[in-house]
Amino acid sequence: MGPALDQPGKVALRRLAPIGRTPLAVVPTPLLPAPALAARLRPDLRISIKADAWTGFGLGGNKVRKLEYELDPARLRSATELVTAGGPHSNHCRVTAAAAAHLGLRCTLVINGEPEDPRRGNAGLHRLLGARIVTVADREARALAMAEESARIEAEGGRALAVPLGASTPRGALGYVHATVEMRTQLGGDRRPVWIFTAASSGGTIAGLILGCAILGWQVRLVGVSPDEPAATVRAAATEVALAAAGRLAPQDGDGPGLVDAVGRIAAATHFTDDFVGEGYGIPTRAANDAIALFGSRAGVILDPVYTAKAAAAMTAWIREGIVPRGAHVIFLHTGGHPALFR
């Protein structure tokens, strides 16, 4: 059964349809039931895993859906090179480099810091995909270096298309409106209260979920689990992106309750936590390692150690502590990141 939409929702989906995108993702991704995981954690729950690790292109993950919209064919028309930034093992940089190669474009990646071994994990894949790597000292230096690289490309007669960090822009977030519609449709007539857990860092993924829920009028508890930034920072980034994206899709004629208002309400009700970061970004925690073992042995699902393991640690803790109510349907959005297993 598909979602029944109110008027602003219908208008928003109608407005979304013609927005340009470059198709890259293998979708819909499956919503995998995880009954053995539920039996181990709390048998009153239904647990499912939305397998966005399997979006396919460039080894998949959440960046693929976001890049589809960032790489609107109209914006690509005169581009000769994509420029983006991230850490030495950035999943976003991997998928951006793969998209550039696929589209016959060059790619420059501004990377803060050197990998321990440039042949392994995403660092190896950045190079295998033909990207030019520019190394900067820290995260703060990335924006300026991206601007300098774009200027260099233009000075040499090319046209740079800069893809902001994580493709977490109002445009990129639209990819996660589609994921929300998929999940709502995949649930069919299930009337349990739904909780969705996801890793959230630059905020575009959960921004798309917030907007998707507003469009569908779908009452879901969203939980964004930070692997690095303070929860307040992730909340602010996600809310800003979701509101801006809603502004593009909202009906302009005052017809029915406003989509932007609904997004504001859902963003405010969304939980953001940084309780599972541990000592820092990419540094394993006991709870994350336990979650990797649990999802592997009870669901056949492989988590990555940087993002999804920490999100899964939050999910298992909130289930065990009874924060997730009895009888709920818990969806774990698996956002990918597998190359980090091989770094």
Cβ-closest residue to ligand PLP?
A: 337
Q: Are 319 and 38 contacting, i.e. CB atoms less than 8 angstroms apart?
A: no
Query: Rounded to the nearest 5°, which phi and psi values hold at 208?
Result: -65, -35
Eight-class DSSP state of 166: G
Query: Per CB under 6 A, which region of 33-41, 181-189, 195-203, 292-300 contacts ligand PLP?
Result: 195-203
The residue (of 168 and 180) whose beta carbon lies closer to ligand PLP is 168
Q: Nearest to residue 61, comparing CAs of 49, 51, 72?
A: 51
Query: Number of residues in contact with ligand PLP, rule: CB under 6 A?
Result: 18
Q: Checking DSSP bridges between strand 31-33 and strand 46-51, what pairing results, if any?
A: antiparallel
Residue 239 as a binder of ligand PLP (CB under 6 A): the answer is no
Q: How many residues does the chain have?
A: 343
Q: Are 231 and 274 contacting, i.e. CB atoms less than 8 angstroms apart?
A: yes
CA distance 276 to 201: 13
The residue (of 8 and 212) whose beta carbon lies closer to ligand PLP is 212
Query: Per CB under 6 A, which region of 142-150, 177-185, 270-278, 330-338 contacts ligand PLP?
Result: 330-338
Taking CB under 6 A as the criterion, the residue among 274, 335, 339, 343 binding ligand PLP is 335
Q: How deeply is 233 buried, as exposed, middle or buried, from its count of CB atoms within 10 A (0-12, 13-18, 19+)?
A: middle
Residue 112 as a binder of ligand PLP (CB under 6 A): the answer is no
Closest approach, Cβ 154 to ligand PLP, in A, equals 28
Both structure tokens of 80: 């000769």
Query: Per CB under 6 A, which region of 7-15, 27-35, 184-192, 202-210 contacts ligand PLP?
Result: 202-210
Eight-class DSSP state of 167: G
Residue 166 as a binder of ligand PLP (CB under 6 A): the answer is yes
Residue 59 as a binder of ligand PLP (CB under 6 A): the answer is no
Residue 200 as a binder of ligand PLP (CB under 6 A): the answer is yes
Residue 150 as a binder of ligand PLP (CB under 6 A): the answer is no
The residue (of 5 and 32) whose beta carbon lies closer to ligand PLP is 32
Residue 55 as a binder of ligand PLP (CB under 6 A): the answer is no
* Catalytic status, residue 90: yes
Residue 204 as a binder of ligand PLP (CB under 6 A): the answer is yes
Catalytic residue among 48, 90, 168, 226: 90
3-state secondary structure of 160: strand
Q: Nearest to residue 129, comparing CAs of 341, 308, 339?
A: 339
Active site residues: 90
